[in-house]
Amino acid sequence: MGKYREDATELLRLVGGRDNIVAVTHCMTRMRFALADPSKADVPAIEALKSAKGSFTQAGQFQVIIGNDVADFYDDFVAVSGVSEASKADVKAAAVGNQNPLQKAMGAIAEVFAPLIPAIVTGGLILGFRNVLGDMPYFGPDGTQTLASLSQFWTGVYSFLWLIGEAVFHLGIPVGICWSITKKMGGTPMLGIVLGLTLVSGQLMNAYSVPSATAADWAKYTWDFGFAQVHMIGYQSQVLPAILAAVCFNYYERFFKKICPAIIQMIVVPFCSLLLGVMTAHFIVGPIGWAIGTWIGDVVMAGISGGFRVVFGAIFGAVYAPLVITGLHHMTNAVDLQLISQTGGTMLWPMIALSNIAQGSAVLAMCVLQKKDEDAQQVNIPACLSCYLGVTEPAMFGVNLKYVFPFVCGMIGSSCAAIVCTGFSCTANAIGVGGLPGILSMQPQSIPMYAVCMAIAVVVPFALCFIVGRRKGIDKGMGVEGITLDSSDTAAAATISAGMSGSAVGAAVAAAVSSETVDELVDDGEIDTVSTGMLIPLAKVDDQVFASGAMGEGVAIEPSDGEVVAPCDAVVTVMMEETGHAVGLTLKNGLELLIHIGIDTVGMAGDGFDCHVRKGAIVHRGDPLVSFDRAKVAAAGHKDTIMMIVTDKGPAGDLALAESGPVAAGKTPVIKY
């Protein structure tokens, strides 16, 4: 049996079963599903799985974050599900039906740029190292010289590194785009590469020389056909001309494949499609793409460098993280590259790197708040590190969006940092290097102020998240057998359940303040209501985790007073003394019951709650457990619905649950086992 076989079996059930899976694969950290009906996936229950570190839906795919062991988990999942292995392309294709037109468009852009990311990151690092070597006059005896000026060796390294930087950003981008689009559209990739090379050929005027070109220059760089003259313009670093050229070429290739007999396709199709593609690129779509790209660049530059640049920075800094969730952030790659081509640098990328840092800093605050929660730290620490290095998905989907407030704190911190960043016109030479290493991409004159922006992106989200987390009681969880209770309501319920599961009743009794023994507890197969009021089905509770049954079967009560009593004889195995909003009981037969008072009441930090028992106490039916002030709960904007959840049936079989009606505390049976 595989290590993850049990969780894999449960995940299969929670995603809607074998029949709901169209295709499944995995990447470095995530399981990727294309589901026939995404609404059948029980997200809260999936995120409660021990192996799962979060989930999200992107590009029509339902993705479950597993971590570094995802390959082993995937093998176990395939074994228990009987689902045949699928490639990432198969899953993407199957997931398209779950996307709206905007998502499909953004997905297409993402797929074009995704294969280029490793080269872009490498190129960004190379240019960053060149910054340090040849453009930072902070070395030498008087602190005014560069490393390259001090050493012939570093001068050689500085010169050599440009070979790679130029290959990536000046030549590689158009060629890579043409190759990527051709591959995606099912064309001949090598012809796509050739098309890209014709856009950056040394025979053409370099794109960076076009704005300052004179009549004498154009006399040298012009195709003269007699009846028409066409400027020989290169499209180094250009994005839109390459995209438009590649799309046209691929439609030409499809057309000629369709009309040509198979016997002559090898000759006719490549020749005709490439010839027409190159002509279209240089005579029509190249100039159009250049004009559109220039217009986009001018608009963005007006926002970044104009009189309202601080407002632009505030907005962009705040919304970039939400853009990552939707996938729209991939559009910024094209804008950044256009700005670099047009102006020699970009003021957009620095704000993107700051957003990475801000989200990572929010996770850092969660690391501090949950320092005693080993389960949480297994997600928090790797997510924080990856975010600081520019990879935000584990942080946002595994931590920040799970609790919401860290995500918002990160947005606020990013906005504050972006205001300073745009206010001082911090500019990057290249893109691809995010998070803390992003400072390597900055132009030398921007580095000192950008370091200040980075400090803001670290301090503000951390401070805000820490303060809000303290107010919500994130740092006040009580440990149960080595597990620290999470203090957000739904997560607290999940962790309380985990803490109760596997705890021996005998161990709890040994720690009890009472001298009674477990043998003296009455086990009559009935659990009464914990409060007087009106019984309602659990499905009607205004909290999806409880309503969905993710935590277990149970009932809910709309109370008429603020008294909560023991519903049966049991041992108190969990008592949230700091907040008073949750109690865990273990019955004689091992059945475990969670009593959760109110929705989101953990945020009250115990205000209005009085605990009458402690962990380890033995209670009998009708004994007071907690008193709470209903008026204070209402004033705080919370509902005081009380949930009674069987988190572990123990040896009990099926449960019989009462449906609705008036109930009296400690006197009306609502759960029978």
pLDDT in tens, 576-606: 877 888 899 988 888 899 999 998 888 788 8
Ranges of beta strands (E only) in 414-528 are 479-480, 483-484, 526-528
The token duo for 605 is: 């930090």
Residue carrying the six token digits 């020699």: 344
pLDDT tens for 373-394 read 776 787 788 888 878 887 776 7
Count the residues in the chain.
673
Q: What percent of the chain has pLDDT over 90?
A: 32
- Asked whether residue 242 is assigned to any structural domain, the reply reads yes
- Asked whether residue 218 is assigned to any structural domain, the reply reads no
Please name every residue paired with 624 in a beta bridge, in sequence order, or none if there are none. Answer: 565
Q: Based on the domain organization, do 465 and 514 belong to the same domain?
A: no
- Asked whether residue 224 is assigned to any structural domain, the reply reads no
- Window from 277-291, 430-444, 551-565 with minimum mean pLDDT: 430-444
- Is-contact 479 372, C-beta < 8 A? yes
Which of 27, 178, 260, 384 is catalytic? The answer is 27
How does residue 366 score in pLDDT terms, banded at 50, 70 and 90? very high
Q: Based on the domain organization, do 534 and 647 belong to the same domain?
A: yes
pLDDT value of residue 89 = 53
Query: Taking the CA of residue 573 as centre, how many other CA atoms within 13 Å lie in the half-sphere pointing to its CB?
Result: 32
Q: Of 99, 129, 159, which one is at a domain's C-terminal end?
A: 99
**Containing domain of residue 33, as a range?**
5-99
Q: Could you give the C-alpha distances from 252 to 255, 263, 417, in angstroms and in order?
A: 5, 18, 47
Q: Based on the domain organization, do 388 and 503 belong to the same domain?
A: no
- Asked whether residue 168 is assigned to any structural domain, the reply reads yes
Can you tell me the distance from the alpha carbon of 364 to that of 368, in angstroms, rounded to the nearest whole number?
6
Name the phi and psi angles at 3, rounded to 5: -60, -35
Residue carrying the six token digits 């200040």: 452
Q: Of 75, 99, 123, which one is at a domain's C-terminal end?
A: 99
- Find the angle CA(314)-CA(318)-CA(319) to the nearest 5 degrees: 120
Query: Which string of DSSP letters, residue by residue, matches 242-265?
Result: HHHHHHHHHHHHHHHHHHS-HHHH
Q: Based on the domain organization, do 325 and 424 belong to the same domain?
A: yes
CATH number of the domain encompassing residue 91: 3.30.1360.60
- Asked whether residue 225 is assigned to any structural domain, the reply reads no
On whether the pTM is more than 0.75, the answer is: no
The token duo for 559 is: 């109370």
Task: Residue 553: count other Cβ atoms within 10 Å of its Cβ.
Answer: 15
Does 611 qualify as catalytic in the annotation? no
Residue carrying the six token digits 């093998």: 75
pLDDT over 60 (residue 507):
no
Q: Based on the domain organization, do 314 and 287 belong to the same domain?
A: no
Q: Based on the domain organization, do 56 and 137 belong to the same domain?
A: no
Task: Residue 146: count other Cβ atoms within 10 Å of its Cβ.
Answer: 21
Q: Could you give the C-alpha distances from 390 to 161, 348, 356, 394, in angstroms and in order?
A: 23, 15, 6, 11
| Cα 339 versus chain centre, distance | 27
DSSP state of 568: S
Instruction: Please tell me whether residue 400 adopts helix, strand or coil conformation.
Output: helix
pLDDT tens for 79-90 read 888 876 654 555
State how many domains the chain has. 4
Q: Based on the domain organization, do 206 and 93 belong to the same domain?
A: no
Residue carrying the six token digits 């994005």: 239
CATH number of the domain encompassing residue 568: 2.70.70.10
- Asked whether residue 104 is assigned to any structural domain, the reply reads no
- Is-contact 559 595, C-beta < 8 A? no
pLDDT value of residue 389 = 81
Q: Based on the domain organization, do 518 and 665 belong to the same domain?
A: yes
- Asked whether residue 223 is assigned to any structural domain, the reply reads no
**Which one-letter amino acid corresponds to residue 549?**
G
pLDDT over 70 (residue 494):
no
Q: Based on the domain organization, do 356 and 386 belong to the same domain?
A: yes
Can you tell me the distance from the alpha carbon of 154 to that of 156, in angstroms, rounded to the nearest whole number?
5
- Is-contact 516 618, C-beta < 8 A? yes
Among 342, 343, 341, 354, residue whose Cα is nearest residue 313: 354
Q: Based on the domain organization, do 261 and 392 belong to the same domain?
A: no
Q: Based on the domain organization, do 313 and 462 belong to the same domain?
A: yes
Q: Of 46, 71, 99, which one is at a domain's C-terminal end?
A: 99
- Asked whether residue 73 is assigned to any structural domain, the reply reads yes
Q: Could you give the C-alpha distances from 256 to 181, 266, 317, in angstroms and in order?
A: 18, 11, 47
Please indicate whether residue 461 or residue 481 has the higher confidence score (pLDDT). Answer: 461
- Is-contact 41 16, C-beta < 8 A? yes
E strand or H helix at 540 = none
Q: Based on the domain organization, do 521 and 488 belong to the same domain?
A: yes
